[in-house]
């Protein structure tokens, strides 16, 4: 998730050969029953329009978090208190 968050914060166009980002998405694949947020994040980070890329990455990042929470693979840090 840190790799995805870093890519989202940078907001730069991601090259297709970005191995860390591709690997991060691939590692999340088994934990996301719905695949749309992973696919949308990848498509979004490769989009040519700055605002559209940012919106797509943010929406799909939130979708990934929701999927991970549902699968039990993600716990909010505040829940540890």
The dihedrals phi and psi of 69, each to the nearest 5 degrees, come to -65, -45
* Claim: this prediction has a pTM higher than 0.75: yes
**Residue pLDDT, tens place only, 6-15:** 988 887 788 8
The position carrying tokens 């991970």 is 68
Q: What is the pLDDT of residue 15?
A: 82
Q: Where are the domains of the chain?
A: 2-9+17-74
């Amino acid at each position: 998730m840190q790799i995805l968050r870093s890519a989202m914060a940078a907001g730069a166009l991601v090259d297709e050969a970005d191995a860390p980002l591709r690997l991060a998405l691939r590692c999340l694949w088994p934990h996301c029953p719905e695949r749309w947020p992973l696919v949308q994040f990848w498509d979004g980070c490769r989009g040519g329009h700055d605002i559209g890329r940012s919106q797509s990455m943010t929406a799909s990042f939130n979708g990934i978090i929701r999927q991970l929470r549902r699968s039990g693979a993600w716990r909010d840090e505040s829940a540890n208190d």
